Amino acid sequence: MLSFEVEPISHEFGFGSPPWDSLYPNPNENPTRNSSGSDGPDPVDERRRRRMVSNRESARRSRIRKQRHLEGLRLQSARLRSENRELASRLAAVRHHCLFFRQDNHRLRSESTVLHRRLSEIRSFLLLHQIQRLSSAVCGGGPAFASGSAIAGSSIIA
């Protein structure tokens, strides 16, 4: 069987007493009493107390700065979300218009193709009609030939 010996606890700082005991003096002790026996406060204790007060104030200011910064970030986040929604809405509208213009462009191209074809047919008809007129004038062709080409031409134009 193993046996362990426990060493006695030393009462020096850090051994046997919590570290915060030295930071927060006991209110029942007389803080003005020092080792020299004078009535004034110990300069080391006074510096420690001022440093603690200064550190607390610095921590408070730091927390306030952090809160302000966090609030600024929240406001910026809300503003950016709103701007993002607006941009998404505008993008959807632009995409809708783009689709509309593509469809309209496709329709206009088809219509242009049909109109070019009709124009080509009309030009061919007019050229044929002019050739027939010249041919009938030279050969003495009758009105029956001319009326047949007029009927064909009217069907092309319509």
* Domain-wise residue ranges, the chain: 42-157
- The amino acid that residue 94 corresponds to is V
Which alpha helices (DSSP H) does the chain contain, by range?
20-23, 43-139, 143-157
Phi-psi region at 135: left, alpha or beta (left = phi > 0; alpha = psi -120 to 50): alpha
pTM of the model: 0.46
What are the 10-residue block averages of pLDDT along the chain, 158 residues in total? 54 51 52 54 92 97 98 98 98 98 98 98 96 86 54 58
